[in-house]
Chain A
Amino acid sequence: MIPQTSNPELRRFYEEARALEPSEGEVAHVLRRAGELRRTGRRRELLVVALVVTALATAFVFPASRDALDSFFAGGSVPGTRAEPGSLPTWLEHAGKLPVAGAPRSVRLLAEQDGQRLFAYRAASSGWACLAFGNDSDTCSDSAQWERLFDGHALLKLASGVGPTADGRVAVFGLARSSVVRVELRDARTVVASAPVTNGGWVIVAEQGAHDSLVGLDRNGHSVEALDARDWTWTFCTRESGCG
């Protein structure tokens, strides 16, 4: 097919274009890129399936601590695992007389170390989210206050100087965002105690005295946030020792 033009240069141009061939390198490049795209597509499909499965699994088995806590603070279900009978603080065991919504079944365990337990429940009268620290104390707040406490932080210390444990040590209680999987109590660079974050809560037990910092670690062992622990209460008074 010769173009109907009197210009020989133009005619030659079309003839030459018609004779062009791809090089071996260009064919190889196409095959390589197409293969990569196919593999990426397959990986993406697998990733989507894996993400959906993970999301469904975590939604029912291990609620994401951040979402679970946020939901709890905002009036949603109480996170954590079912508390063993007899493990609740005495004032929650007999909640018939106390303002605990759905008590005692609604009281759930967030975290535990050396018999020191962090519980979550919802106050019956106000609907506020409440946390109980061992047999020592509890605290209740509305959602706005919880958000303010947690705002911009991955770690939150709620109570210290709780105890003593059976061997005379002291406990500290707190919450953590889902990015933190473990907390370490450190004196300078020495780790003196550590504990996992479970259901968004943590309990760490340490020797009385003074300690420097509490560090929240992610699943790769990297520090997410460090709290200055020097002003926390690391001792407690007992009737035997007196409280000065």
Chain B
Amino acid sequence: MAQKKLMEPGVVAAVERACRNDPEALELVARLALRLALRTSAAMLGSRQDAVDIAQDVAIDVLHGLRGLRDPSRFDAWVHRIAARRTLRYLRSRRGRARAERTLEELEEQEHPATSLGEDALSEQWSAAPAIRQALAELPPRQSLALALRYVAGLTDSEIAEVLSCRRGTACSLLSRGRSALRANPLLVELRSSLQGDLSR
């Protein structure tokens, strides 16, 4: 799982050294926080460009509040909580709504048909197909976050519940409803049909 891979043995020591302003440790901690937040936010927003602003704010919060972290082995969970809070706030903000509207326009104009994401997909311009972004935008933010924490951060139901400050049952329910909503989303069904059509030609 992604989380296990990130939580290297040296992370706890790096967090402790970063608290003492060790430059190398600070860089490592910044990179880890940025990576965790970038992936989760991108999975909720469908765009790296939107997610990177949030991820940078999260990483700055992390470096700023590092001394307040009592248990360095909980670093990942702490970063996820900050990332979740920031991304949810972003989605509820006017800025988030404005960008969602822009996504709709793009979808209507069909300027960017669903593309296959090749090697360039992981570049700084990475962005999901408009249909996926629209489907994500239609999901309630907590469902979208629960899905991102599961499929991108690799958290268990209990860990998702902790990040979302809810019961495990609530986390399971959010995941289940999120999955169902995506499965039933007509945009994604159409996307699948069109791709199959393209392939069959």
Contact = CB atoms under 8 A, between A and B. Distances in A.
Interface of A: 1-10, 12-14, 16-23, 26-27, 29-31, 33-34, 37-38
Given A9-B192, A12-B117, A22 B35 contact: yes
Contacts of A13: 43, 46, 117, 128-129, 132
Nearest to B176: A4
B48 to A, nearest CB: 6
A3 B56 contact: no
27 contacts: A1-B150, A3-B150, A5-B179, A5-B182, A7-B189, A7-B191, A9-B114, A9-B129, A9-B188, A13-B43, A13-B129, A17-B42, A17-B43, A17-B148, A18-B39, A18-B152, A19-B122, A20-B35, A20-B38, A20-B42, A22-B52, A27-B31, A31-B30, A31-B63, A34-B26, A34-B59, A37-B60
A18 B36 CA distance: 9
A37 B64 CA distance: 8
Given A9-B132, A16-B117, A21-B35, A1 B60 contact: no
Nearest to B147: A3
B34 interface: yes
B1 interface: yes
- The secondary structure that dominates the A interface is helix
10 closest pairs, A vs B, by CB?
A: A34-B63, A17-B43, A22-B34, A14-B151, A30-B59, A18-B152, A30-B30, A17-B42, A3-B151, A13-B128
B14 to A, nearest CB: 14
A30 B61 CA distance: 10
A1 B179 CA distance: 14
A4 B179 contact: yes
B132 A10 contact: yes
A93 B128 CA distance: 91
Contact of B1 (A1, A17, A26, A33): A1
A150 B18 CA distance: 57
B154 interface: yes
Interface in B182-199: 182-183, 188-189, 191-192, 195
B68 to A, nearest CB: 14
Contacts of B26: 31, 34
Contact of B64 (A14, A20, A22, A34): A34
Contacts of A5: 179, 182-183
B138 to A, nearest CB: 13
A18 B151 contact: yes
Given A6-B183, A12-B117, A14-B151, A33 B60 contact: yes
Given A5-B182, A18-B2, 8 more contacts: A5-B183, A7-B182, A7-B192, A13-B46, A13-B128, A16-B117, A30-B30, A33-B60
Contacts of A21: 35, 38, 122
A9 B191 contact: yes
A27 B34 contact: yes
A162 B107 CA distance: 86
A185 to B, nearest CB: 55
